């Protein structure tokens, strides 16, 4: 069943009330050791179905701050000696001690699974994270602060990719893009911003994502987008020709009222695939139908909201802070 927040009144306390009612925000504070954002649960859910990290040696996390996706990448790639559930348990015991002493633990009292030098494992591979905002360090993660739309920022990220042992080329196996511009409430501008970020992620994939060859499968791109008919066109023209399979996912942890969704694009090919006459891939078609349905209904919901003059933030962006 989808986790939905109860209906809440408008007003300055609406955001706080919604946060309190949100099981994923509560989960972030209790079950999770120190996920920096509830966005963590979206990636965990996507990963459940797609085993994203299984073969990945180089991961790029685009739009990484405050850092929960990078935390997951670091954990999955062996940079924490302890598994997350052990750290969670320790964090909970520590919170109990604070409660018993009548003290409310603050962020600085949280266990950071990376801060104990004794406990740093030698993980596999390389993780590169980039964001406009600063991101506190995570062991195993190389962070670049900058605007990913700028070519020199992309080049800085590229130079952190280690050259492939066989070919000497720099390849990323997994690109995670959770980038999202602040929503202005203007549907046309917001769609354009979303397309710009998706385009930048895809251009980066063309240059750096490991392409399929006879010895190994091509890389994977996970990309957030804000559902809109214009983006269906993007999927058809920019994604489907270059990936063997493209899936649309709306994680349960993504709020119902948010128009965000994720594409999981698997098995990248450097050259566009050729379709036999009158034939598309079944995956693409299945996804496309579902996506179109989602896109249309989201677009209609958006119009109605705007017509009513009740344009509100409809993304999870506002929730992805240190909360
Ligand atoms: C939803 S948050 C990401 C949350 C993150 N995945 C996590 O788990 O903590 C979206 C991020 O995208 C970043 N972003 C938006 N536009 C960007 C750009 N042009 N270049 C780099 N980062 C960008 C924002 O600064 C923001 O931190």
Answer yes or no: is pLDDT of 311 > 70. Answer: no
Q: Does some domain include residue 56?
A: yes
Nearest CA to ligand 1 atom 5: 64
Q: What is the pLDDT of residues 120-161, one digit of tens each?
A: 557 789 999 999 999 988 889 999 999 999 999 999 999 999
Q: Does some domain include residue 288?
A: yes
Strands of the 243-249 sheet, one edge to the other: 141-145, 126-131, 58-62, 174-177, 220-226, 260-268, 243-249
154 lines ligand 1 (CB under 6 A): no
d(CA 207, CA 210) in angstroms, rounded, equals 9
- Domain interval for residue 130: 37-80+121-270+279-311
Q: Which DSSP category does 239 fall into?
A: I
Contact 221, 265 (CB under 8 A): yes
Q: What is the pLDDT of residues 42-101, one digit of tens each?
A: 999 999 999 999 989 999 999 999 999 998 999 899 887 666 666 666 767 777 777 788
At residue 36 the predicted structure's pLDDT band, cuts being 50, 70 and 90, is: confident
Q: Is the pTM of this model over 0.90?
A: no
Q: Which helix (H) or strand (E) holds 222?
A: strand 220-226
69 lines ligand 1 (CB under 6 A): yes
The number of the ligand 1 atom at minimal distance from the alpha carbon of 176 is 6
Report how far ligand 1's centroid is from the alpha carbon of 250 (Å): 18
262 lines ligand 1 (CB under 6 A): no
Of 77, 84, 174, nearest to 124 (Cα)?
77
Q: What is the pLDDT of residues 201-254, one digit of tens each?
A: 999 999 999 999 877 889 999 999 987 788 889 999 999 999 999 999 999 988
Q: How many domains does the chain have?
A: 1
Q: What is the pLDDT of residues 240-299, one digit of tens each?
A: 999 999 999 999 988 777 888 999 999 999 999 776 555 444 443 334 444 434 443 333
153 lines ligand 1 (CB under 6 A): no
Q: Does some domain include residue 21?
A: no
Q: Does some domain include residue 158?
A: yes
At residue 184 the predicted structure's pLDDT band, cuts being 50, 70 and 90, is: confident
233 lines ligand 1 (CB under 6 A): no
Name residues whose C-beta falls within 8 Å of residue 188's C-beta, 6 or more positions apart in sequence. Answer: none
Q: Does some domain include residue 107?
A: no
The number of the ligand 1 atom at minimal distance from the alpha carbon of 197 is 19
d(CA 119, CA 79) in angstroms, rounded, equals 9
At residue 111 the predicted structure's pLDDT band, cuts being 50, 70 and 90, is: low
Q: For residue 57, is it left (φ>0), alpha (ψ between -120 and 50) or beta?
A: alpha
Q: Which helix (H) or strand (E) holds 129?
A: strand 126-131
- Which CATH number goes with the domain that contains 141? 3.40.50.150
Q: Does some domain include residue 8?
A: no
d(CA 42, CA 319) in angstroms, rounded, equals 13
At residue 34 the predicted structure's pLDDT band, cuts being 50, 70 and 90, is: low
Q: Is 224 a catalytic residue?
A: yes
Q: Does some domain include residue 99?
A: no
Q: Does some domain include residue 41?
A: yes
């Amino acid at each position: 069943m989808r986790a939905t927040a109860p209906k809440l009144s408008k007003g300055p306390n609406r955001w706080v009330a919604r946060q309190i009612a949100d099981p994923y925000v509560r989960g972030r504070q209790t079950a999770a050791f120190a996920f920096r954002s509830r966005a963590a649960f979206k990636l965990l859910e996507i990963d459940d179905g797609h085993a994203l990290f299984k073969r990945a040696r180089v991961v790029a996390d685009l739009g990484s701050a405050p850092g929960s996706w990078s935390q997951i990448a670091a954990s999955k790639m062996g940079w924490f000696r302890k598994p997350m559930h052990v750290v969670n348990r320790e964090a909970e015991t520590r919170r109990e001690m604070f409660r018993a002493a009548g003290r409310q633990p603050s962020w600085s009292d949280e266990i950071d699974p990376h801060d104990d030098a004794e406990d740093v494992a030698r993980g596999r591979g390389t993780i590169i994270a980039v964001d406009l905002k600063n991101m506190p360090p995570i062991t195993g993660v190389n962070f670049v602060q900058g605007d990913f739309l700028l070519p020199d920022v992309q080049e800085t990220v590229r130079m952190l990719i280690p050259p492939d042992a066989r070919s000497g080329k720099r390849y990323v196996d997994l690109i995670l893009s959770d980038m999202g511009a602040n929503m202005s409430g203007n549907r046309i501008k917001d769609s354009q911003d979303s397309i710009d970020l998706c385009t930048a992620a895809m251009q980066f994939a063309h240059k750096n994502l490991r392409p399929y060859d006879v010895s190994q499968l091509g890389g994977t791109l996970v990309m957030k987008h804000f559902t809109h008919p214009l983006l269906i066109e993007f999927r058809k023209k920019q994604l489907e020709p270059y990936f063997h399979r493209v899936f649309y996912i709306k994680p349960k942890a993504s709020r119902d009222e948010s128009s965000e969704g994720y594409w999981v694009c698997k098995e990248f090919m450097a050259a566009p695939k050729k379709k036999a006459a009158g034939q598309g891939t079944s995956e693409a078609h299945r996804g496309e139908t579902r996506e179109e349905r989602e896109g249309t209904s989201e677009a209609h919901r958006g119009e109605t909201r705007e017509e009513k003059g009740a344009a509100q933030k409809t993304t999870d962006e506002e929730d992805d802070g240190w909360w």
